[in-house]
A and B are shown apart, each in its own frame.
Chain A
Amino acid sequence: MGWGCSCSARFQGAAVLAIAVLAVVCGCYAVASETSHALLDRPPRVLILYPYDERIAVTTAAGEALRSRLLEATDGKIDLFSEFLDLSRFPEADHVTSMGRYLAEKYAARRPDVVVALGKESASFISMNRGRIAPGARIVAAGFGNSTAENIDLPDDVIGAFTTFDILKTAEMARKLQPNARYLFIIGGSSDFDRGWLATARADLDEFSKSYETTYLEDLTIEEFVERASHVPSDSIILALTVFKDRAGRNFIPREAIKLIAATASAPVYGPYQTYIDDGIVGGNTVTFDTLGRTVGNLVVDVIAGRPVSDIQAPQTNIVDSRQLRRWGLAEGNLPPGTVQMHKEKSLWEEHWLAVTVALGVVLMQAGVIAALLLERRRRQDAESMSRLHLLEAVHLNQSATAGALSSSIAHELNQPLSAIRNNAEAASQLLRSGNPDLELIQQILLDIQEDDQRAGDIIGRMRGLLKKRREIDWQEFDLNDITSSAIHIIHGEAERRGITLNTNQPTTELPVRADKVHVQQVVLNLATNAMDAMMDADCARRILTFVTGIAKERAELCVVDTGNGISEERLSSIFEPFYTTKKAGTGLGLSIARAIVETYGGTISAHNRPEGGAIFRVVLPLVRREERGS
């Protein structure tokens, strides 16, 4: 869309980017000043004349901007009329005359108060027909240059909103965008208008072009234009004026000619028309449709209000195509202030900064929380593994202490098979020295030696578990009853030495549990040695240590029962606390470690007094379920 865009070939020469020169025939003197519409008791009537048909976006875009400005300014209290003169396709005088007559009849009952003529054709038309169509109306002409208006000698009372296309301002914008450019190329066609433009440009750029190696590309065919533009050095500025006609006489819509050239150009192309923007040029200094529409609208509002008005210039704007800036790698920061960027893809930030900020904040917070949680998790894991390690250390120390306490009785126990082995061996060798050795006896002796050796090995094997240091829990499934019998094996020597009788119920059912066997054995040995100590301190006739295993509430239970003095009530509560001890040489860690072990395997440990005297320590561990065992 643009002035002249999609215009048919017929009117190209004239249409023209509007701006071309227009001779307004005027003759009619306006008497508008006498009729102050501000005093009207009805909404003011404004007729907008479009030079072409309603399909030509050039004028309709400006017209739409004008309409909306007027509606906005009058709060809708305005009668707007639009007429499309279609003068490009029907430029014949007959048509113009009949159109004038037709409009004169059409508006006979509703004479417009203000006529806005867009483009030079409209200005000429209304200048000729104002007396018939809108006598007494103020005329506002817009859409062409100041110089044009002078050339066509508009009637004095016609107010103009003029548009000037200044190639120098476009060139300066190009210089800002390409501060390092060394070459300047100016493209212009071969039509009169094109040549006029080239002459104007030469004059306007006289000073500017001295900083560059300047070439005017003119008198070329369209192919030559394209060819030349595609081989300019990359540090060039190309200014495109208009190409209505090439050297070969072919007619063009300048927008399309420039589009061809810009498509393959080897340097950025600039031009002073908004219509060029979509077609491959970087940008230029121009009057936008919107600006024009609003400027004219303001003018009309002033006219309606009866305020004094005079000719004005529609403000110019630098506009650029952001896509082209990207294409050529031109910095947005170099744009002159106030430059309008077309086709700018708003960044996500610009479009949704609030949402983005919130989302980013949420994400950051989330990330922070996640990081904190991860850190926490890591620290917890570290702490857990440290605590497990410490538990294992403590368990090991406790094991060593237990082993130490039992060492003399275990040494004694180990002594038995060793002594037997020795005596058997000596007996055998003595027998062999005799004249007639009893070989059968010697055979029996050797068998006994093997048996005793096995026995010593078993004792050592049981001790090894107690002394072995572990870095990790060795999970295994076992029968809690095995632990009891192995504990009895280990302590029976000690119990014998102290005159303690060991008892156990005859276990009837298997008690499968899952834990570290050595750890659980440790708990049982701890409880057993405690019980034995308690009975040594006590002054009791019979010293009996009983192990009872069974199932209680679907969990495996092991009770260690003694016949000592029991535990005093105030001690019962703190007996599992670390460093709590009643023994002179105790560390006070045994029972706290026992509790830590049992709880590690999901169990509980508790202490009670028996009514008949003595204490019961009860260890409860979860049973391994049948289905779990199957898997």
Chain B
Amino acid sequence: MKPVVHIVDDDESYRTATARLLSAYGVKVEAYESGDQFLACLPSCEPGCVLLDLQMPGQSGLQIQRRLCELAPLLPIVFLTGEGDIKAGVDAMKAGAQDFLEKPSSVAVLMETVERALAQYERRRAEHERLQELRTLMASLSAREAEVFGLIIRGQLNKQIAYALGISERTVKVHRHQVMEKLGAKSFAEVVSIAADIGLDRGRSALSE
């Protein structure tokens, strides 16, 4: 499935021209005349990236970005801007904008930016999928195994875990082995890394997930 570049710009001629240009380079393009229209179409949208005009009547580019972060966090956003509005740029970057594209820009810069954004999307999507997988694996752990996992990643020894859970040290070893088996981790370090990836760290209890 090919990623799609979504162009959101109130200026019809720019929107059309840019869409034509990207199409000519073999990129799939969808164009929207306003942020609202794009948001309305979002559920049925093909993923890819967004070229978002910063200055638009109605909801401005920054407002749309805020909404997109909630609704489609994986979509990289490239802002289109006619002039260097530093404040708007900083705000956009803080809110996670992928890039800026100045109008007008050469086709090389445009293509590079779009490709970078799409690559970013690919990475995000891959990462997202991996995390989903890990979360699935985590879900396959039994309650006791999850408890043990939570304590392992906090660096507790088997003896301490046994004491904390009121079970024998040997039983802890068995659970530990099961956790590594289920998560497909070959070492203790790998388990810790997985915990970090899915957002569990030593500060949080796996049980509270």
Does B166 lie at the interface of the complex (its beta carbon under 8 Å from any beta carbon of A)? no
**B22 and chain A: residue at smallest CB distance:** A427
Q: From B18, B83, B106, B110, give the contact of A408 (CB < 8 A).
A: B83
A contact residues around B105 at 8 Å (CB):
419
Q: Is the beta-carbon distance between A417 and B24 smaller than 8 angstroms? A: no
Of A415, A448, A455, A496, the contact of B17 (CB 8 Å cutoff): A448
Residues of B within 8 A of A33 (CB): none
- Confirm or deny: B13 has a beta carbon within 8 angstroms of a beta carbon on chain A: yes
Whether the pair B82, A411 counts as a contact (CB closer than 8 A) is yes
Q: Which residue from chain A places its CB closest to the CB of B24 in the assembled complex?
A: A430
Point out the residue from B18, B55, B60, B82 that lies within 8 Å of A423, measured CB to CB: B18
Contact with A along B3-21 (1 / 0, CB 8 A): 0000000010110111011
Q: Is the Cβ of B13 less than 8 Å from the Cβ of A411?
A: no
Interface CB pairs A-B, < 8 A, 28? A411-B82, A415-B82, A416-B13, A416-B14, A416-B103, A418-B104, A419-B17, A419-B18, A419-B105, A420-B13, A420-B17, A421-B17, A423-B18, A423-B20, A423-B21, A424-B21, A426-B21, A426-B24, A426-B107, A427-B17, A427-B24, A445-B17, A448-B13, A448-B16, A455-B13, A496-B57, A497-B55, A499-B60
Is the beta-carbon distance between B55 and A412 smaller than 8 angstroms? yes
A379 within 8 A of B: no
- Roughly how many angstroms separate A164 CA and B60 CA in the complex, as a whole number? 132
Q: Given known contacts A412-B83, A430-B107, is B11 in contact with A424 (CB within 8 Å)?
A: no
Residue of B with least CB distance to A414: B82
8 closest residue pairs by CB, A with B: A419-B104, A423-B17, A430-B24, A427-B21, A427-B20, A420-B13, A424-B17, A419-B103
Contact between A441 and B20 (Cβ–Cβ < 8 Å)? yes
Q: A416-B14, A417-B13, A451-B13 are in contact. Are A422 and B104 (CB under 8 A)?
A: yes
Judged by a CB distance under 8 angstroms, whether A260 is at the interface is no
Q: Which of B14, B16, B25 has its CB near the most chain A CB atoms (within 10 A)?
A: B14
Residues of B within 8 A of A408 (CB): 83
Chain B residues with CB below 8 A from A420, complex form: 11, 13-14, 16-18
A455 to B17, CA, bound (A): 15
Instruction: Return the contact of B13 from the options A430, A452, A499 (Cβ within 8 A).
Output: A452
CB distance from A433 to the nearest CB of B (A): 9
Number of interface residues of A (CB under 8 A): 27
CA of A499 to CA of B62 in the docked complex: distance in angstroms? 13
CA distance A420 to B14 in the complex (A): 4
Interface residues of A in 390-443 (CB under 8 A from B): 408, 411-412, 415-424, 426-427, 430-431, 434, 441
- Tell me the minimal C-beta distance from B16 to chain A in angstroms: 7
Quick one: which of A412, A415, A427 has the most chain B CB within 10 A?
Answer: A427
User: In chain B between 33 and 61, which residues have their CB closer than 8 angstroms to a CB of chain A?
Assistant: 55-57, 60
Chain B residues contacting A423 (CB-CB under 8 Å) are 14, 17-18, 20-21, 104, 107, 110
State A230–B50 Cα separation when bound (angstroms): 129
Q: How far is the CA of A427 from the CA of B110 in the complex (A)?
A: 12
A438 nearest CB neighbor, chain B only? B24
Residues on the A chain within 8 Å of B104, using CB: 415, 418-419, 422-423
Contact residues of B between 103 and 118, Cβ < 8 Å to A: 103-107, 110
Q: In the complex, A448→B83 CA distance in Å?
A: 23
Cβ contact of A412, chosen from B16, B17, B18, B82, cutoff 8 A: B82
CA distance A60 to B50 in the complex (A): 138
Instruction: Tell me the minimal C-beta distance from B168 to chain A in angstroms.
Output: 68
Of A416, A431, A448, A455, most buried by chain B (CB within 10 Å of CB) is A416
- Collect the chain A residues with CB atoms within 8 Å of residue B60's CB: 499
**Residue-by-residue, is A179-202 near B (CB-CB < 8 Å gives 1, otherwise 0)?**
000000000000000000000000
CB distance from A546 to the nearest CB of B (A): 16
Chain B residues numbered 54-78 whose CB sits less than 8 Å from any CB in chain A: 55-57, 60
Give the chain B neighbours of A418 by CB distance below 8 A.
104
User: Given A416-B11, A417-B14, A420-B14, 18 more contacts at CB 8 Å?
Assistant: A408-B83, A415-B82, A416-B13, A416-B103, A418-B104, A419-B17, A419-B105, A420-B18, A421-B17, A423-B107, A424-B16, A424-B20, A426-B107, A431-B24, A448-B17, A451-B13, A496-B56, A499-B60
- The residue in A408, A426, A430 that gathers the most chain B C-beta atoms within 10 A of its C-beta is A426
Q: How far is the CB of B87 from chain A (nearest CB, A)?
A: 12
Distance in Å from the Cβ of A8 to the closest Cβ of chain B? 127
A502 → B minimal CB distance (Å): 10
In the assembly, what is the distance between CA of A415 and CA of B11, in Å?
A: 11
Cα of A431 to Cα of B21 in the assembled complex, Å? 9
CB neighbours (8 Å) of A499 from chain B are 60
Which chain A residues lie closer than 8 Å to B57 at the CB level?
496
Mask, B81-94, CB within 8 Å of A = 1, is 01100000000000
Are B14 and A430 within 8 A (Cβ)? no
Q: Min CB distance, B104 to chain A, in Å?
A: 4
* Bound Cα distance A416, B21 (Å): 15
Q: Is the CB of A496 within 8 A of B55?
A: yes
What are the residues of chain B within 8 A of A415 when measuring CB–CB? 82-83, 103-104
In whole angstroms, how far apart are the Cα atoms of A448 and B16 in the complex?
9
Contacts of B24 in A (CB 8 A): 426-427, 430-431, 434
Assembled-state Cα–Cα distance A445/B24 (Å): 12
Which chain A residues in 21-56 approach chain B with CB under 8 Å?
none
A408's nearest neighbour on chain B, judged by CB, is: B83
Instruction: Tell me the minimal C-beta distance from B61 to chain A in angstroms.
Output: 12
Most buried by B among A412, A419, A452: A419
CA of A427 to CA of B27, assembled, Å: 12
Check B55–A445 contact: CB distance below 8 A: no
- CB within 8 Å of A: which of B98-131? 103-107, 110
Contacts of A421 in B (CB 8 A): 17
With beta carbons under 8 angstroms apart, the residue of B25, B56, B83, B103 that contacts A430 is: B25
Point out which of A421, A422, A448 has the most chain B C-beta atoms below 10 A from its C-beta: A422
Beta-carbon contact of A411 and B83 below 8 Å: yes
Closest A residue, CB atoms, query B60? A499
In the complex the two chains form, what is the Cα distance from A452 to B103 in whole Å? 15
Which residues from chain B contact A431 at a C-beta distance below 8 Å?
24
From B24, B60, B83, B106, residue with most partner A Cβ within 10 Å: B24
Shortest distance between the CB of B59 and any CB in chain A (Å): 10
Report B-chain residues with C-beta under 8 Å of the C-beta of A496: 55-57
CB distance from A418 to the nearest CB of B (A): 6
A495 CA to B24 CA, complexed, in Å: 35
List chain A residues, Cβ under 8 A from B56.
496
CB neighbours of B106 from chain A (8 A): 422, 426
Which of A416, A422, A424 contacts B82, CB < 8 Å? A416
Q: Mark A510-532, 1 if CB is under 8 A from B, else 0.
A: 00000000000000000000000
